Amino acid sequence: MKLPFDFQNPYASTRLPGFFRNVVSTSTPLGAQAGLRMLLKGGNAVDAAIAAAAALTITEPVSNGLGSDAFCILWDGKGLHGLNASGPAPAGWSTDYFHHKYGAHQKAPPKRGIDAVTVPGAVAAWTALHARFGKLPFADLMEPAIEAAEGGYGVPPVVHQKWKAGAPELAALPGFAQSFLPFGRAPEIGERFTFPAAARALRAIAETGGEAFYRGEIAAALVRFARQAGGVLSEQDLANFQPEWVTPISRDYRGYTLHEIPPNGQGIAALMALGILEQFDLAALPVDGADSQHLQIEAMKLAFADVYQHVSDSRSLQISPEQMLDDQYLASRARLIDMGRAQTFGAGNLVRGGTVYLTAADENGMMVSFIQSNYMGFGSGCVEPGFGISLQNRGHGFNLDPASPNGVQPGKRPFHTIIPAFLTQGGQPVMSFGVMGGNMQPQAHMQTLARMLDYGQSPQASCDAPRWRFDQGLDINVEGAMNRQTVAELERRGHRVKTIDDAYQDFGAGQFIWRLGGEGAGYVAASDPRRDGQAVGY
């Protein structure tokens, strides 16, 4: 089968695409190798993904931990399955709880600290995926992570960068310095870091199939820690949690179909933006020129205007995904774009009704798109010290407006930024992919897919290409490698452009596995040079 792109990469890159029958691509080499070990052991892509995810809690603790949330889309050989393992608010949370504790002026739960922590979902994601699709014993999947935690590893450059940047803000939070500042500072590049407390947790998770985390000794430790820190997380909050199997939402684009997890995530933003872009002949515009970039920026702004207004826990939606993805509605939004000037957009008139990404695929056709996150760097900054549970700060995704679809309520999931993605054609799998990085995620889904499907660039070239990031209003950030003439023209059209060379912080990082053809033909994989990771396989 002829692929819809060539492998001439017009961008400076230290990465080349890899071709494999079995492959894992993650943001750290040790994470990728953890998954590869399971494939070599006879496991499938789900086994590989779980092992990689567990290892990444140790080897990239700046972005995720044992107290993360997670989402997954997988192709099992016959169809797609979605998993939402984002945890809900504790039963003790309400608008009154936060206003009483922090004052009536408070607009959202705090950014850091124990009152930013919702029920962690990642471990439940691992066990749910394994129970339904795993092949190897669950305990085997924890082995690489345990080895990394006990034996240690040399801290890679990009992980070091964010570790060092986050330490001053987080050092005083409960358990953080004890866990992540073992030298009284962040580890240097190449310095060996061990995490024996997390190894203890991983052993308990391995031995109990995750039960210890939600109903056993780890759960008890988490509740004690939360109470000591002034929080209200309870034994019942943990014991009641179950991840949810969901049907991905989708939209066609240029003969392919993009699939995303439905709300409470922001994946619908990528679908909406592509639906708006489809109203234009993007391929007729120079790929790195101002017209193409301006059009994509404006489409993304329009999508975000609706997403930030309407997306929440699926049980609280006042506008359905179907309404937001309606063809006529998206066509009407596309007509608002002015090719000569940048604009700010409000939500449309709809009728009411710190992250790691990894992907794995095996020679039997199973493909896994998996993402887990502590949200902002190191999440809440709170770390239960006995088991090394670094807790996310997803509660900050709520607001404290009782009338808002995303207002905090007991047992409710907050608006979530992390989104795995999957591409099919004619009902058959094409690519498992994702790009981590806050609100950069749907923006990069759109930018990389436009490069592949409109311009015929390979996954690695699409990954390496310079990116922009919409911030707010007329503000955008661009990478330093972006064409200077394009940047100048965007500024002339009214975009307020800030050039940033710190790619780790601002422009996300992706992993891509594209299926090469018929059964047994294998895959081509790409890994983002903005992280320490790689694609590995055989």
- Which residues are known catalytic residues? 355
Residue found by looking up tokens 């929080």 in the block: 231
The string over 212-226, giving b where at least 16 C-beta atoms fall within 10 Å of a residue's C-beta and e elsewhere, is: bbbbbbbbebbbebb
Q: Are 381 and 173 in contact (CB under 8 A)?
A: yes
Q: Are 455 and 293 in contact (CB under 8 A)?
A: no
Question: What's the half-sphere exposure (Cβ side, CA atoms, 13 Å) at 450?
Answer: 32
What are the CA-CA distances from residue 185 to residues 163, 170, 436 (Å)? 9, 11, 26
Nearest to 204 by CA among 219, 226, 223: 219
Q: Which two tokens stand for residue 21?
A: 């029958």
Nearest to 13 by CA among 499, 463, 501: 463
Per the DSSP assignment, residues forming a β-bridge with 83 are 72, 245
Question: What's the half-sphere exposure (Cβ side, CA atoms, 13 Å) at 254?
Answer: 19
96's CB contacts (< 8 A; 6+ apart) are none
Rg (CA), the chain: 22
Element (H, E) at 309: helix 290-310
Question: What's the half-sphere exposure (Cβ side, CA atoms, 13 Å) at 413?
Answer: 27
* DSSP character string of 121-142: -HHHHHHHHHHHH--S-HHHHT
The string over 477-492, giving b where at least 16 C-beta atoms fall within 10 Å of a residue's C-beta and e elsewhere, is: bbbeebeeebbebbee
| Edge-to-edge strands, sheet with 69-75 | 244-246, 80-85, 69-75, 367-373, 355-361, 23-26, 534-537
